[in-house]
Amino acid sequence: MRILTLTSLSVAMLALAGCGQTERSDAAGDQAVQLSDIAGAWTLDSPSSKIAFASIKAGEVIETHFFTGLTGEVSPSGETVITIPLDQVETKIDQRNERMRTLFFKTDSYPTAAIRATVDAAAFAELPIGGRIATELEGVLSLHGVESAVYADVFVTRIANARVEVATSEPVIVHVADFNLEAGLEALREIANLPAITPAIPVTFTLVFEATGDA
């Protein structure tokens, strides 16, 4: 099963636990402080981070949506948690936002989704500024009362001395049946009078983490 860390989901610092192919930039790389020398936690930069997904209606109409207000942190010991406020789903149509909240996600009962993992900081200690790692993320996603292992192929880039970006290298497919969301999808289909809504959802994300400690 290959589904997103909506987390993934995520997630930025999860990728750093992997040992992937590294691409190095010549710019300022040798002068960067090693990531392992930056003490303290890493916090998700919410305005710079985004999880987006697409819905496919009647097999041919594609619409894109996203979540705002993501939060997350990697503790000094490597414990990682990312939280997605499901009631902040943005579909660009107010009525559709409300239907997604009440019929699909049921945010009165399940207001958030979360991804949890443990990071091995030593695996990315020497990543230079501009350096990039290609790797696979793995974590545990909690969504709609269900917990499941999740995976995503990503690029991890050190974009500044104390900032790291994680972005999907290809869309990740979320299957609604894996999280008991079939009834909510059917409710959306009926109220919108559609012949079908595809139950496999492509998801992409860009997540930026910033160190909150000192080098």
Place of tokens 């989704």: 113
pLDDT at position 17: 36
Q: Is the pLDDT of residue 211 over 70?
A: yes
On whether residue 181 sits in a domain, the answer given is: yes
pLDDT of residue 212: 81
Read off the CATH number of the domain in which 162 is found.
2.40.128.110
What pLDDT is stored for residue 146 in this prediction? 95
Give the Cα separation of 33 and 213 in Å (integer): 13
Both tokens of residue 3? Answer: 């589904």
Tell me which of 26 and 191 has the higher pLDDT: 191
Asked whether residue 84 is assigned to any structural domain, the reply reads yes
Distance CA 184, CA 186 (A): 5
Task: Answer whether residue 167 is part of any domain.
Answer: yes
Work out how many domains the chain is built from and give that number: 1
Six-digit token pair at 180?
């008991």
Strands (E), 71-199: 71-74, 79-85, 89-90, 112-118, 132-143, 146-160, 163-168, 172-175
**Closest C-alpha among 180, 109, 195 to residue 148:** 180
In a domain, 4, yes or no: no
Q: Which domain holds residue 34?
A: 11-211
Q: Is 17 within the bounds of a domain?
A: yes
Confidence of residue 133 (pLDDT cuts 50, 70, 90): confident
Q: Decide which of 90 and 74 is more confident.
A: 90
Q: What DSSP string runs through 75-106?
A: -TT-EEEEEEEGGGEE-S-HHHHHHIIIIII-
**Is 5 within a domain?**
no
Q: Give me the pLDDT at residue 20, please.
A: 35
Q: Would you say 84 and 97 are in contact if contact means Cβ atoms under 8 Å apart?
A: no
Q: Print the SS3 string covering 30-69.
A: CCCCCHHHCCCCEEECHHHCEEEEEEEECCCEEEEEEECC
Separation between Cα atoms, residue 123 and residue 135, nearest integer Å = 12
Residue 36: per-residue pLDDT: 61
Q: Are 125 and 35 contacting, i.e. CB atoms less than 8 angstroms apart?
A: yes
Percent of the chain with pLDDT over 90: 49
